[in-house]
Structures are given as C-alpha cells and as structure tokens.
Amino acid sequence: MRVFLQLSYKGTKFFGWQIQPEQASVQETIEQELTRLNSGKEVKITGCGRTDTGVHASEYFAHFDQTFEMDPAQLKFKLNNMLPQDIAIQAVIPIHDEAHARFDAISRTYHYFIHRDKAPFIYETSWYRPQELDMDSMNRACLLLMDHKDFECFSKVHTDVENFDCNIMHAAWIRSEKGYIFTITANRFLRNMVRAIVGTMIGVGEGKLSLEEFQAILDSKNRSEAGQSVPARGLFLAGIRYPYIE
C-alpha cells in the first residue's frame, strides 16, 4: 500500500532533505525509523523535492510503499515517538499506488522570514536584518516576476534541469509584527531560486536596484547578474498542493 507522509521539520541540524554521504538528512532519519518498524527490512521514501542545508518545511510530503501491518494512526504515533524533535509527522495518508509525492504536485509555496529586531529565539528560523525596505517597490518587482517564465538568472549554475521555465502564480511581500514575510507560489522551483529572488529583491527594497534593472536581470538569464542568495535559515517550504488531497 502506498502511503503519503505529511510532515514538518526544522532544518537547522540537517544537511537538507536528501540523503548526503556522512551527513544528517531528513530523508535518511525517517527512512531509518521506518526500516526499524519494518523489522529491519529497508524502506525507501520519496520526497516532494529537495530542501537545502538549513532550510525548513512547515509542510512537506513524502511517499513510500508500506509492506508492514500498521494503521495510519498507529504509524503516525510510533514515528513521532521515534523521530527527533526536529521532525513531526502531521498525517499518514493512504493513497493510490501510482501517486507520486514529487511529480504529482500541482504547486509549491515558500515563505521567507526577516526580523528587524534582534531576537535570539527566532534566530534559526528567520534572517535578522534591521534595515527598512521599500515594500511598494518590492511588490512591483513581484508583478514582474509573475509576468516572466524563464528564471535561469535565479538558478544555481551547473544543474541538470532540461529548462528553466516556471509558472509563478503568486508572489508578494507583507509586513509582519517582527519584520517582513515574502510568499511565493509556483508549479516548480529551480535550485536556490527563492533565496536568489529574495536577495535580488532586497536590492530593490534598498533603492539600489530599479525596476528596470530588475527586469534586465530577469531577461539576462545570467546568475551573476542577480543578487546574492539570502541565508537558508529564513526559508520555509510552506505548502504543497495535489489534485487528490484537499
């Protein structure tokens, strides 16, 4: 029986979702506990996508084929007792055998958090940056993003993707009680894309980059033209939509 795991994790202590040689990853941590539940027989899971070192997920999905007897409520309870505090299983969802956590996703949403006052209790989940930003200009830059398709300028170089096209459905900045939150939703994202977008938009918010220059960066298809990537700690994968999960 194929099962979807809906989960969340704090990425601070992990070298991303995907298994890394001799480094702690979220994927490997969950696989180890599922293998224990399967009497030592290896269980492999497939995630909805990669997250880089230090990036968090408030909502993430992964699938695996369950070969051992255990109902969803029991599996959720046992996994949560076995996994470290940094990982929480929110739901165990039986699904049809052809369902795929990565390829079936309709859209993905990310949040990026910035706090303006020094705050030790959120340091690992938000970027401390005290400077004021021009929200109106940054949101006008968001409109340019949503009117664009090829995002090679924001992609990590030397990746193995076939194309750099993404359909951005929503992008916006809002003020929060602590600072700023950027939200972006698209059908797919390139590696390092969101952090590169935020880093470039910071230049717009500081008045160092005009909207015309921002558009020129989009058109350039050149990563070196865009701004620096912001720190991983402020980035959250926040939502995944599937056609068969409400």
Per-residue pLDDT tens over the stretch 85-143? 999 999 999 999 999 999 999 999 999 999 999 999 999 999 999 999 999 999 999 99
pLDDT band of residue 201 (cuts 50, 70, 90) is: very high
- Mark whether 215 and 116 lie in a shared domain: yes
Which residue in 93, 29, 37 sits closest to 61, CA to CA?
93
pLDDT at 158: 72
Average pLDDT score, the chain: 96
> With 80 as the cut, is the pLDDT of residue 242 above it?
yes
- Mark whether 223 and 189 lie in a shared domain: yes
Q: Which residues are catalytic?
A: 52
Do residues 233 and 112 lie in contact, with contact meaning Cβ atoms separated by under 8 Å? no
pLDDT at 167: 97
- Show Cβ contacts of residue 236 under 8 Å, excluding neighbours closer than 6 positions: 55, 56, 57, 58, 110, 111, 112, 113, 125
- Mark whether 191 and 79 lie in a shared domain: no
Q: Tokens in use for 112?
A: 């990026």
Which residue in 42, 54, 35, 21 sits closest to 234, CA to CA?
54
- Of the residues 50, 70, 95, the one at which a domain ends: 95
For residue range 156-175, list pLDDT tens digits in order.
887 778 899 999 999 999 99
- Mark whether 127 and 218 lie in a shared domain: yes
Rounded to an integer, the average pLDDT of 5-24 is 96
pLDDT at 162: 86
- Stated pTM of the model: 0.95
Do residues 195 and 232 lie in contact, with contact meaning Cβ atoms separated by under 8 Å? yes
- Mark whether 29 and 64 lie in a shared domain: yes
pLDDT at 96: 95
Residue 139, in any domain of the structure: yes
Other C-beta atoms closer than 10 Å to the C-beta of 131 total 9
Other C-beta atoms closer than 10 Å to the C-beta of 117 total 8
- Mark whether 63 and 114 lie in a shared domain: no
- Show Cβ contacts of residue 158 under 8 Å, excluding neighbours closer than 6 positions: none
Query: 29 is in which domain, residue-wise?
Result: 2-95
